[in-house]
Structure 1
Amino acid sequence: MAVVGPAAGYVLGGQFLTVYINAPEILPARYGIQVDSDLWLGGWWIGFLLAGSLCMLISWPIMAFPTQLPGAKAIKASRVSEAVGTVEVAGGFGQLKDLPRAVKVLALNPTFVALSIAGATEGILLAGFATFTPKFLENQFSMTASFAALIVGFVAVTAGGGGTLLGGWIIKRLHLSCSGILKMCIIFSVVCLLSCFTFVISCPNIKFAGVNVDYTNKSLVLSKPSLLSTCNQECGCQDVDYNPICGTNKIMYFSPCHAGCSNMVEGQDGVKVFQGCRCVSPPSPIPLQGDPRLAPDAALLEKCPTACLLMPMFLAIFFVTMLLTFIISLPALSGTLRCVPDSHRSFALGLQWIVIRLLGTIPGPILFGALFDHTCVLWQSNCGREGACKSYDNFYMSRYMMAISVLFKFLSTILYVVSWWLYKPPPRPPSRRHQHDLTLPSPGTPSCTPRNASKDHQGGRELQGIDNLAVDLT
């Protein structure tokens, strides 16, 4: 549920973003602002209000649960310990003075330490993906923010829920021991590392006048943004806010002012059409009859669409990446609980989550955000101060996403290998089968063995060989 919950929140959050932030007090349709406009502000606060109310309702039945569920003591007594080493620390950890001793015991457990740091590296990627994958889709494939959040939520729900269930099913089906679980984490982490190269898929940048193409020479690539040109220098566009339009020449402009437009009309479907845009095309002396958007000097109040068709391929491989990531999540948790003594399990899980938060999920979005800022090619400036980024370089955005994904997935793979390499299972108790082999025959027992007994003994050895093979695999 910890996986499905945030993923479902993305789906609902994407729907909440289609509601205007001040609705119903302000109707954005009056001002010509649509959901796909960069001036649209979604109702981000609706999710907090709904989630907070649900948490208050659910907290009441949770408080009615007892300290231990029926049968907990019997299950604990029958459980076979797979902790590193066999020494149990005497006493419990119910007092604050026992905290340093408990931390020392876990810090000296190399498997637990390696799994905790591996969880932190996975947390960096998951938190970064959750925060910036919608922005990645929005810029690479010209999506709206709400639709990009909906797509990411759908992928997270299906891949997260399916991966978690599949990981648990594999452990149960193969009856994996702690060592086998760590091997499973290594195998799926290596495959997931290969799938991270999906971020090499990128779409070409939209032609943006004054940012990556020149106003006059449309084939000239600019090294530094320059939004002013001879076609708009008399319009006074220095303090105009970002309001992108797409000209009939398939080039995007910062605002109607920067395109040199002189008039605005409403198209047949209610879309605003700007006319007389001198930067798009020289004005025609003959007025155009019919749809105004067909005029050579016209522009629409929207971003230019992209002709990139790589989105299905990217989403398919990204789904595999998320599926493999969540397949590892449950085995890593199970390995953590098995490699520590029973008396340390609750504290070990809490300490591990602190490490994951401090080293993973908290700095993850900050690190991804810094990389995204390095790909920005146009910053919004107000009163001489730098504001939000308005345009990114798609090529460098995809390469940075691929680099950080491969780097941290490689680190987590190495840490899983270290956790398996340093894991020392407790010694196995002598089995009843071996005890039978060491028993001497009683006096008076015939030295000859019946034929049926010989067959049974041979079959027993065959079963013993199968059991040994299963132990080697796990």
Structure 2
Amino acid sequence: METRMIPDQSKDNPPFLDRSIGPLPIKRMYPYFSKLKIFLGALAFSFFAKGFSGSYMKSMSTQIERRFEISSSVVGIIDGSFEIGNLMVMILVSYLGSKVHRPKVIAAGCLIMSFGTFLSVMPHFLMGSYNYERIPLTEDNSSTSLSACSLALPLHHPTLDAMEMTRELKNSGCEKAASSYLWIFVLMGNLLRGIGEAPIMPLGVSYVDDFAKEENSAFYIGTIRSSGMVGPTLGFLLGSFCANLWVDVGVVDLESLTINPKDTRWVGAWWLGLVICGAVSFLASLPFWFLPYSLPKEGEERNLKKLSESSVTIQEDHCKIESPSQPQLKFSEAVKDFLPTLKKLLGNPVFLVYLSLTILQYNSMVGLITFETKFMEQQFNVSVSRAIFLIGVILLPITILGMFLGGFIIKKFKLHITGMAKFGCATFIAAYLLNLLYFTCDCEVLQVAGLTVSYSGVKQSSFPKNNLIASCNSDCSCVLNQWDPVCGDNGITYMTACFAGCKSSIGTGKNMVFHNCSCVQVQGLESGNFSAVLGQCQRESCTKTFPYFLALLSICALILALGGTPTYMIMFRSVSPDLKSFAVGIDALCGRILGGLPAPIYFGALIDQTCVKWGTKRCGGSGSCRVYDTKAFRNVYLGLIAGLRAGCCFLYIILFVLILKRFRPESNELIDLKSTEVPSRKGSTSVSKNETFSSTKTLEANEETCM
């Protein structure tokens, strides 16, 4: 062969060639080199897929609450079902770690995610068209004008016979609707999504950390997590688009609607984005089916150029001999070794404090994200679609930038675990102090006549329902539990046009205007033809404080994200190499079971306590909340987050002190390293601890190459 006649390896020749073995090492080296990059790309896309569907589901929580007419606490249970799915398999997946074919397990997980997402779409095709709550209008005898104030008996009037009411509900199909709980499909789909997502993080991250250089590992993981954050960004953008579409788009005439996306009865096309999310999760599974069980350590594949043809043959023969003798993992042995391994892991005080920190952070983060759009809608008078859009285009890109910069800082300054702990502690405390400024973003409660203010405009400290009827509407036979708000000329919102005492109207759909409203009184004018328009009145003071809140939220997100990657890497540097994947799994498991699962439930239950006016289902019973006491909502929502993060600050300080005590300062490490560089005579057997660890890792990588 021509390659054997080359006298030496000049710079013109490929660096992989060897005179004795020809081009053979190229064929052996190139697939491993490319497969590591393929795995990094596939893992980044799987992170994108899970973030894409997860953020979309979070953004649609308000739409799901309104479509299925459920409370925030039930929405929290649906959201928590994802964490339950994780719990069902997380321990097993993370414990087995490198003992299973990690790429194929991740591929199967992505397929389960896809199936769960498609399952959540089913209720839309099983339910009828969405009929939102609105009052009936009667035709005026003198003209074609419609009147909200009539002498017709309301549905709940005591003169109606109970048997007649039951018959009427049956005829309208209410019996079937009242006995159906189609939101369980969404819950089960979310459960399957949690099962499918479980292996992606622990198996994917441990796979990268096993086969990447130690100095590149943090950068790769930070880059993958940053790339994965593109998924939540696009997920929120898709959520904003779908929330702005009517739920029965293409079926219902949009001109007949009397509400807009700012109305609390509006339901967007929540199901449409789930179809797209399911398709993305399916595509994410495909590359992992073609990736190998293990790879050589990054950088070690270049040493193949020094091997001769005989050494390659010997290595292949060694693999053939050793592979059959390698013991296969039995399930009984894995279960038997589980408790000692767990005891060893939890016996590490650094990891134990880190685990407690993760639990509190999960609680605050999950509660924040789940109800953030609802908080922005109620507090700052913005539509849900706009709130979702702003989170997607402003907040999440800033978070991505912060996570990327955090990984870059570790690589650039070569931070030791003590440096990572110091950086993470400082950034979190700084963000917490800025968090306290959220409480300055005050907003007035929506003025609803007879509910939060009297009909004369005087604010009420409590919200009794017996003040809804006044002398101006006492002859209108208004139904007390209906919600179809109108805004009067005086800037006060009325529950319905009937409560405003409106006698006539002009226009249709969203352009309908009510006139001769006896309860609408403009200060300074004793009488007049006062009118009201559909929808709630705008709160100007709330709108003005929204940019300030958004800027503060963005700054806090950037600072928190900067310290996120260094804090995450503390876990890898504080446990032994054989416990890395198990540590990742236990960390994610405890975070989900004690943070992700309960947080949306108790956040939602406490937020429900601040509700002033509940909606009414078509067949009776309470639906989703229409109006909140915004001050109580703010204190509960922001107060819970601030309290949880105060505990995080305390644990960060403890973690930093423990790391300083356990790990030597960098100056002492340099002295130790210099002592190992003293030249030894030929045949000396003294080696440093670092050299021993490096040799062990190299041996492990070579053994895995044979598998």
- TM (normalized to structure 1)? 0.80
Q: 1:434 Cα shift? A: 4.3
Provide the residue aligned with 2:596 in structure 1. 361
**2:391 is the counterpart of 1:156:** no
Using the TM superposition, name which of 59-68 and 221-230 deviates more.
221-230
SS in 1 for 2:599: helix
Match for residue 395 of structure 1 among 620, 623, 631: 631
Which residues of structure 1 form unaligned runs of 5+?
Answer: 76-90, 288-294, 440-474
Provide the residue aligned with 1:443 in structure 2. none
Q: 1:138 Cα shift? A: 0.6
Q: 1:435 Cα shift? A: 6.7
Contact 2:259 2:535 survives alignment (8 Å): no
Q: 1:432 Cα shift? A: 5.8
What is the percentage of aligned positions where both structures have the same residue?
A: 28
Match for residue 343 of structure 1 among 578, 596, 603: 578
Provide the residue aligned with 1:328 in structure 2. 563
Provide the residue aligned with 1:114 in structure 2. 353
Contact 2:236 2:388 survives alignment (8 Å): yes
C-alpha distance in structure 2 between counterparts of 1:434 and 1:222, whole Å: 74
Using the TM superposition, name which of 154-163 and 330-339 deviates more.
154-163
Q: 1:413 Cα shift? A: 1.5
C-alpha distance in structure 1 between counterparts of 2:552 and 2:432, whole Å: 12
Provide the residue aligned with 1:26 in structure 2. 252
Match for residue 228 of structure 1 among 459, 469, 494: 469
Question: Could you tell me which amino acid in structure 1 is paired with residue 642 of structure 2?
Answer: V
Question: Could you tell me which amino acid in structure 2 is paired with residue 253 of structure 1?
Answer: Y
Q: Mark the CA change 1:19 to 1:59 in structure 2 (over 3 Å): closer, same or farther.
A: same
Provide the residue aligned with 2:605 in structure 1. 370
Q: 1:311 Cα shift? A: 0.9
C-alpha distance in structure 2 between counterparts of 1:408 and 1:73, whole Å: 43
Provide the residue aligned with 1:412 in structure 2. 648
Match for residue 55 of structure 1 among 277, 281, 290: 281
Q: 1:179 Cα shift? A: 1.4
Provide the residue aligned with 1:247 in structure 2. 488
Q: 1:384 Cα shift? A: 6.9
Contact 1:186 1:413 survives alignment (8 Å): yes
Q: 1:124 Cα shift? A: 1.4
**2:543 is the counterpart of 1:304:** no
C-alpha distance in structure 2 between counterparts of 1:20 and 1:432, whole Å: 66
Contact 1:122 1:412 survives alignment (8 Å): yes
- TM (normalized to structure 2)? 0.54
Using the TM superposition, name which of 179-188 and 38-47 deviates more.
38-47
C-alpha distance in structure 1 between counterparts of 2:506 and 2:644, whole Å: 52
Residues 52-91 of structure 1 aligned to structure 2 (within 5 Å):
52-72=278-298, 74=300
Match for residue 379 of structure 2 among 135, 140, 165: 140
SS in 2 for 1:407: helix
Question: Could you tell me which amino acid in structure 2 is paired with residue 230 of structure 1?
Answer: S
Provide the residue aligned with 1:471 in structure 2. none
Question: Could you tell me which amino acid in structure 2 is paired with residue 126 of structure 1?
Answer: M
Q: 1:35 Cα shift? A: 2.5
C-alpha distance in structure 2 between counterparts of 1:220 and 1:191, whole Å: 38
Contact 2:513 2:531 survives alignment (8 Å): yes
SS in 2 for 1:388: strand
Q: Mark the CA change 1:40 to 1:384 in structure 2 (over 3 Å): closer, same or farther.
A: closer
Q: Mark the CA change 1:34 to 1:350 in structure 2 (over 3 Å): closer, same or farther.
A: same
- RMSD of the alignment, in Å? 2.8
Q: How big is each residue's C-alpha offset from its partner over 1:105-163, in whole Å with a ceiling of 9 and x where there is no partner?
A: 11101111211221121111221121111111111111111111112223332222011
**2:377 is the counterpart of 1:128:** no
Q: 1:73 Cα shift? A: 8.7
Question: Could you tell me which amino acid in structure 2 is paired with residue 396 of structure 1?
Answer: A
Q: Mark the CA change 1:342 to 1:433 in structure 2 (over 3 Å): closer, same or farther.
A: closer
Provide the residue aligned with 1:209 in structure 2. 449
C-alpha distance in structure 2 between counterparts of 1:167 and 1:305, whole Å: 41
**2:497 is the counterpart of 1:256:** yes
C-alpha distance in structure 1 between counterparts of 2:599 and 2:519, whole Å: 42
Contact 1:21 1:41 survives alignment (8 Å): yes
Provide the residue aligned with 2:663 in structure 1. 425
SS in 1 for 2:371: helix
Q: How big is each residue's C-alpha offset from its partner over 1:383-418, in whole Å with a ceiling of 9 and x where there is no partner?
A: 774432221122222222332122111111211222
C-alpha distance in structure 2 between counterparts of 1:312 and 1:435, whole Å: 58
Q: 1:188 Cα shift? A: 0.8
Contact 1:281 1:296 survives alignment (8 Å): no
SS in 2 for 1:69: coil
Q: Mark the CA change 1:366 to 1:324 in structure 2 (over 3 Å): closer, same or farther.
A: farther
Q: 1:212 Cα shift? A: 1.4
Q: Mark the CA change 1:261 to 1:197 in structure 2 (over 3 Å): closer, same or farther.
A: same
Contact 1:197 1:406 survives alignment (8 Å): yes
C-alpha distance in structure 2 between counterparts of 1:273 and 1:240, whole Å: 22
C-alpha distance in structure 2 between counterparts of 1:31 and 1:352, whole Å: 48
C-alpha distance in structure 2 between counterparts of 1:154 and 1:7, whole Å: 7
C-alpha distance in structure 2 between counterparts of 1:403 and 1:222, whole Å: 21
Q: Mark the CA change 1:340 to 1:74 in structure 2 (over 3 Å): closer, same or farther.
A: farther
C-alpha distance in structure 1 between counterparts of 2:538 and 2:512, whole Å: 16
Q: Mark the CA change 1:249 to 1:140 in structure 2 (over 3 Å): closer, same or farther.
A: same
Q: Mark the CA change 1:432 to 1:113 in structure 2 (over 3 Å): closer, same or farther.
A: closer
**2:332 is the counterpart of 1:97:** no
C-alpha distance in structure 1 between counterparts of 2:404 and 2:378, whole Å: 33
Provide the residue aligned with 1:456 in structure 2. none
Q: Mark the CA change 1:15 to 1:139 in structure 2 (over 3 Å): closer, same or farther.
A: same
Using the TM superposition, name which of 338-347 and 154-163 deviates more.
154-163
